[in-house]
């Protein structure tokens, strides 16, 4: 998804040359974009944002990406948002080591769209089952900045995706991540992973022998789900075997390593939930 000039308020990026990526280390969408860049050996300049500190809600960044999400790719002054669109674009412009084979492109794009529909469900599970984010993950002041800054438009039209983002954060602050929300999101993922199992019946990877962007996207999602306590090996053993075979490749592993202090916080959170009987397995009835 390429932004038009009227969408962009931070105009200096329109003059940038080369490949630039605004990203966050722990962002699932940033991780899959970086893996694609690395697998394709593309040189790029890093612009790291700390989402925990609200860097993505600054006037500067919202002037680049009105949705305030990561990643954002700038290629010779073109501004592209949405990770799945970015990685398909990269594959078209840098055809060495194809990750979107032309003969499978329509199917892969359709399956990526289904994967993207689960993004808020992944966030729902993450915010309860990795390390604690507090009762108000985004402060009222932060959300007000988000609402007021940037053009608020994509493609020259008012952006509905920004309203969905605001609704998520406002709901999280008002009522938290409820058990019902956990069950709904978990069931969506369980059904989607069953579909992955079907794809792997006769294939080494999801679309055949070679790694595609679909494999990259789902390894990222499954890595997050496993960290939340989803019992992948028990429920989907074939998918678990495939996941681990890719997860340990250097191009994947280097992007998915968790700092020790973050892992310690996750482990402590899981222990509290185990004692309270509120683990993902128990709440979702897995």
Q: What is the pLDDT at residue 13?
A: 97
Q: Is 104 exposed, middle or buried (0-12, 13-18, 19+ CB in 10 A)?
A: middle
pLDDT (0 to 100) of residue 137: 83
CATH value of 109-135+176-284 in 3.40.50.300, 3.40.50.1860, 3.40.50.720, 1.20.1050.10: 1.20.1050.10
Low-confidence ranges of the chain (pLDDT < 50): none
Domain 5-101: give its CATH architecture.
3-Layer(aba) Sandwich (3.40)
What pLDDT is stored for residue 92 in this prediction? Answer: 94
Q: Report the alpha-carbon distance of residue 5 to residue 1 in Å, rounded.
A: 13
The pLDDT value recorded for residue 176 is 87
**pTM of the full structure:** 0.92
How confident is the model over 236-271, as pLDDT tens digits?
999 999 999 999 999 999 999 888 998 999 999 999
Q: Tell me whether strands 72-75 and 19-23 are parallel, antiparallel or unpaired.
A: antiparallel
Nearest to 64 by CA among 21, 18, 27, 24: 21
pLDDT at 135: 75
pLDDT score, position 72: 98
The pLDDT, as a whole number, for residue 236 is 97
The boundaries of every CATH 3.40.30.10 domain in the chain are 5-101
CA torsion sign for 62, 65, 66, 67 is: negative
Mean pLDDT of all residues belonging to the chain:
94
Residues of each domain in the chain carrying CATH 1.20.1050.10: 109-135+176-284
The enclosing H or E element of 92 equals helix 83-93
């Amino acid at each position: 998804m390429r932004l038009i000039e009227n969408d962009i308020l931070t105009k200096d990026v329109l003059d940038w040359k080369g490949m630039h990526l605004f990203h966050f280390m722990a962002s699932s969408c940033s991780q899959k974009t970086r893996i694609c860049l690395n697998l394709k050996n593309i040189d790029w300049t890093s612009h790291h944002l700390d989402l925990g500190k609200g860097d993505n809600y600054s006037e500067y960044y919202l002037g680049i990406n009105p949705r305030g999400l990561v990643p954002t790719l700038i290629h010779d002054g073109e501004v592209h948002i949405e990770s799945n669109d970015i990685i398909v674009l990269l594959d078209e412009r840098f055809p060495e080591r194809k990750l979107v084979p032309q003969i499978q492109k329509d199917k892969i794009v359709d399956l990526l769209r289904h994967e993207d529909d689960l993004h808020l469900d992944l966030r729902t599970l993450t915010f309860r089952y990795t390390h604690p984010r507090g009762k108000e993950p985004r402060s009222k002041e932060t959300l007000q900045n988000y609402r007021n800054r940037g053009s608020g438009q994509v493609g020259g039209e008012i952006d509905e995706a920004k309203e969905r983002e605001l609704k998520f954060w406002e709901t999280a602050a008002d009522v938290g991540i409820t058990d019902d929300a956990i069950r709904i999101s978990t069931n969506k993922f369980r059904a989607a992973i069953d579909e992955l199992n079907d794809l792997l019946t006769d294939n080494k990877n999801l679309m055949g022998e070679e790694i595609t962007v679909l494999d990259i996207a789902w390894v990222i999602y499954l890595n997050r789900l496993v960290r939340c306590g989803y019992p992948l090996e028990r429920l989907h053993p074939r998918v678990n075997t495939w996941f681990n075979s890719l997860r340990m490749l250097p191009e994947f592993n280097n992007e998915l390593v968790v700092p020790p202090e973050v892992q310690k916080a996750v482990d402590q959170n899981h222990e509290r939930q185990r004692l309270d009987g509120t683990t993902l397995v128990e709440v979702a009835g897995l």
